[in-house]
Amino acid sequence: MKILVLGATGTVGSQVVAELLGRGVEVSALTRSKESAAKLPAGVAAEIGDLQDPDTIRSVFNGKDAVFLLNAVSQTETNEGLMAVNGMQMAGVKKVVYLSVPRLEDAPHLPHFGSKIPIEYAIKRSGIPYTILRPNNFYQNDYWFKEVMANFGVYPQPIGSNGISRVDVRDIAEAAAITLTTGDHDGKTFHIAGPEAITGERTAEIWGEALGRTILYGGDDMDAWEQQSKTMLPGWMAFDFRLMYEFFQREGLAATEAELAELTDLLGHEPRSFEDFARETAAMWS
């Protein structure tokens, strides 16, 4: 089986590649440069190209049985996703697994959410057998906050007090590999989430327990968060993520019991807990 992974060098895509390789799948990956291609693990065939380039669209999907479609957050995300759908149709791809977001119908005004609605719709109308994965906020996002927690004792991600069912990227990758390589999940949408809806305060508390020191939650001041984020992110992205976090603070992003039961059945085990992730990560950092 030949599977093409898009976004193969990122947080999720790299783990999907590892899962597929572990299952004996022939994996290729689309990257924009030779430098990115050099980061791919042994056994992965690099395809250099760009989803906004018609030549790439006409060639990269040829001979592929299935595609893991992950479009990076960008101002061209929707266009890239729709271009990919056309390329898959032209090449006769037999299966696509698309990485989306949960509850996008409830927040179509958020660029991070709304950009995925046309892609989901196009996939469903494409005639290609599909599965859609809608993962929650990643545990592994917290790798970015190592220095802030170590130097200032603060957890800065402003996820609020309503709770979001954060998820381990390894569970996302496992779900992707299962749905890509088996034929029992066509036409389904899975919400990929952790077992507990975690608040900002609770997240800081768990990190404090894992690191053996006091970690305080940085709070929900989005004016301050956006200004700080603009020193590291493009202005449009800081604004986009601000809107998303304000939605989390107002509404939360909790998985239902039915969604968690369906995920557990898909994976064959309960989703990994944030406490276990934090302890494992703290041990790695030490």
CATH of the domain at 23: 3.40.50.720
Tell me which residue has tokens 């995925």: 116
Give dist(CA 186, CA 204) in Å, integer.
Answer: 39
DSSP characters over 70-132: -PPSSTTHHHHHHHHHHHHHHHT-SEEEEE--TTGGG-TTSHHHHTTHHHHHHHHHS-S-EEE
Answer whether residue 6 is part of any domain. Answer: yes
- Tokens at 128, concatenated: 């290609």
Which of 62, 17, 64 lies closest to 37, judged by CA?
17
pLDDT of residue 207: 98
Q: Which domain holds residue 43?
A: 2-128
**Angle 2-141-232 (CA atoms, 0-180°, nearest 5)?**
110
Could you read off the pLDDT of 194-203 as tens digits, one per residue? Answer: 999 999 999 9
- Asked if 240 and 249 touch (Cβ cutoff 8 Å), the reply is no
pLDDT bracket for residue 283 (50, 70, 90):
very high
Contact 57, 51 (CB under 8 A): yes
pTM check: above 0.85 = yes
Phi-psi region of 70 (alpha: psi -120 to 50; beta: other; left: phi over 0): beta
What does the pLDDT read at residue 102?
96
Examine residue 192 and state whether it is found in any structural domain, yes or no: no
Q: What per-residue confidence (pLDDT) applies to 205?
A: 98
* 285 within domain boundaries: no
Q: Is 202 within a domain? A: no
For the stretch 75-117, pLDDT in tens is 999 999 999 999 999 999 999 999 999 999 999 999 999 999 9
Report yes or no on 57 lying in a domain. Answer: yes
Q: How sure is the predictor about 46, in pLDDT bands with cuts at 50, 70 and 90?
A: very high
Is the residue at 42 inside a domain?
Answer: yes
pLDDT at 183: 81
Question: Is the distance from CB of 61 to CB of 85 less than 8 angstroms?
Answer: no
Domain total in the chain: 1
The reply to whether 72 falls in a domain is: yes
Instruction: Identify whether 206 is part of a domain.
Output: no
The pLDDT tens digits of the residues spanning 55-80 come to 999 999 999 999 999 999 999 999 99
Burial string for 79-109 (b: 16+ CB within 10 Å, else e) reads: bbbbbbbebbeebebebbbbbbbbbbeebee
Q: Which residues pair with 131 in a beta bridge?
A: 97, 188
